[in-house]
């Protein structure tokens, strides 16, 4: 059995007038992500983690922000396309561990919904998806409410697709 690990990271500026989108869910907030697509840092980091696990490049290579067809696109599409690439390479996701770095709003009440949304898109049991929320305690751009970050680690294995085992 062959295993690989992928690591993804993304950040976006926070601005008024844009929705705060995490795992495709709109989170009530005065500030949202500025991005070419919907700006979903969590799904962007997950896309990079999936692609990185099989050395298939990164989100910018597959979905360049210079391409108008990705303008305001739902980032779940990026995850699904990365998952197709992963599965066509003979790999499946074992588990996901994600961390969202955001000063506010506090995400505790949304964690289970975010986990469920990720599990649904990548077709694995929710028990295999961990999501944590952290703050920067006032330090750097994320700490000053100027940015949001996400980090995602994914473990993949060669063999039957996880969606067939779910």
Check whether 130 has a pLDDT greater than 90.
Answer: yes
Confidence of residue 69 (pLDDT cuts 50, 70, 90): confident
Q: Is 52 left (phi over 0), alpha (psi -120 to 50) or beta?
A: alpha
Report CA 115 to chain centroid distance, whole Å.
11
What is the pTM assigned to this prediction?
0.93
Query: What pLDDT is attached to residue 161?
Result: 52
pLDDT of residue 47: 98
Per DSSP (E only), the strands in 24-160 are 25-27, 31-33, 91-101, 129-134, 147-158
- Max intra-chain CA distance, the chain: 48
Q: 3-state class of 7 per DSSP?
A: strand
Average pLDDT over residues 79-90: 96
**Domain-wise residue ranges, the chain:** 3-165
- CA neighbor of 3 nearest in space, from 93, 117, 76: 93
Do β-strands 31-33 and 3-16 pair in parallel, antiparallel, or remain unpaired? antiparallel
Determine which of 11-20, 50-59, 60-69, 151-160 has the lowest per-residue pLDDT on average. 60-69
Query: How far are the Cα atoms of 2, 6, 34, 97 from residue 150, in angstroms, in the given order?
Result: 27, 14, 14, 11
Of residues 104 and 166, more confidently modeled:
104
Assigned CATH for 3-165? 3.30.1330.50
Please report the pLDDT score of residue 103 as a whole number: 96
**Which pLDDT score, from 0 to 100, does residue 67 have?**
86
Whether the per-residue pLDDT at 166 is higher than 60: the answer is: no
């Amino acid at each position: 059995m062959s295993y690989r690990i992928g690591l993804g990271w993304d950040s976006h500026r926070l601005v008024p007038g844009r929705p705060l989108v995490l795992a495709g869910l709109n989170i009530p907030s005065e500030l949202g992500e500025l991005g070419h697509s919907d700006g979903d840092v969590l799904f962007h980091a997950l896309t990079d983690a999936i692609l990185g696990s099989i050395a298939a490049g990164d989100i910018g290579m597959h979905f360049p922000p210079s391409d108008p067809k990705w303008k305001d696109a739902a980032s779940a599409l990026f995850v699904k396309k990365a998952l197709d690439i992963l599965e066509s390479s003979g790999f499946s996701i074992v588990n996901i561990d994600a961390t969202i770095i955001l000063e506010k709003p506090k995400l505790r009440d949304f964690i289970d919904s975010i986990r469920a949304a990720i599990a649904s898109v990548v077709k694995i049991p929710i028990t295999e998806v961990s999501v944590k929320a952290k703050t920067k305690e006032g330090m750097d751009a994320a700490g000053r409410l100027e940015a949001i970050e996400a980090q995602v680690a994914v473990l993949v294995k060669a063999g039957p697709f996880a969606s067939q085992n779910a």
